[in-house]
Every structure is written in C-alpha cells, then in structure tokens.
Amino acid sequence: MNKKKYCISILLIVFVMMLAACGKNRNDKGEDYYKDKESRDIITTYLNGYVYREDGKYVAVYNSGENPPLVYNGSRECEQSNGLVLADRTDYSTYQDRPFSDVIRDLGEPHTDIGSGLYIPAYFTKDAHLAAFHVDQEKVAGIDLIDLLGVNTIKHIGKK
C-alpha cells in the first residue's frame, strides 16, 4: 500500500511540473516573446534572442524576452543597456585555450547562454556584437563574434 501511495505522489508531482513547464512564453510585461518575434523586422537571430529594427534603432531581445532589451543606434552605440554592463570590444583571441574563469574575471558573469544543450556563455559588447565563448572542460575552445546589426554576421575566432 505504501508503494502505491508513493507512485501516485510521484505521478502527481510530475504532472504539476509538466503543467508549469507548458506555461506561455511571456516576458514581465506580459508580451508573448514568440508572437512579437513574428511581427518584427528581424535583423539577426540567435538561440534565445533576436535583434529587430524599429524607428531607426536596433533592439536586442535576449533570454527569451525575460530581461529588458538593449537598444543600439545605427552608429553601433548602446543607448539603453538597462543596467547591463557591456563588454568592451577587445581582442578576444587572447582567451583561446585559457580557463573560462579568466573571461569571467575580466568581463564579469555572462549576459546570456546561447547554447542548445551545450553551455555557450555570451557577452553583449558596447559596439553591437555578441561575443560567444565555446567552453570545453572549463577552457575556452573557440569564440564567435556575432554582429547584432547583421552586417558581418559571424566571425569565428580560434579553433572550435
């Protein structure tokens, strides 16, 4: 009898968790991330975000719309970072084959994760790029520099 109660309890917990996971993909303003994405003039997309053009500005939505978006102007200057400390544009190749903890020490905690099943931490830069670090066994195995304005879409730095 105890075994039966245990199984029913487990099933109930799994059912509740599945219901919670099936919730709508909405940001804190109640906007549907995927619905809004379909109606935008999309410039660049990446795993959990996209960049669209609106009134001459470039708006970067990230973390599936859970965070306030970044706004860049046509000159690549960030006009609205919402408190996010943006990374300086630097020679990211110096991090190749170094511990990822060196990147965190220099740039802070990653702004987002653009991996799908893999951990690919990324940082938004002051000049409208997304620096994505491919990490393998706690070391930087490769770096992708994604142009958020869609001009030179991806520049791969180092080996991957």
The residues near 6 (Cβ < 8 Å, ≥ 6 apart) are none
Tens digits of pLDDT across the chain (160 residues):
577 777 677 766 766 665 555 444 444 444 444 455 555 677 777 777 888 888 889 898 888 778 889 999 989 999 999 889 999 888 889 999 999 999 999 999 999 998 888 889 999 999 999 999 999 999 999 999 989 988 767 778 766 5
Is there a contact between 156 and 143 (Cβ–Cβ < 8 Å)?
Answer: yes
All structural domains of the chain with their residue ranges: 33-157
pLDDT for position 89: 82
For the chain, helix, strand, coil in percent to 5 are 25, 35, 40
pLDDT for position 43: 74
pTM for the full model?
0.72
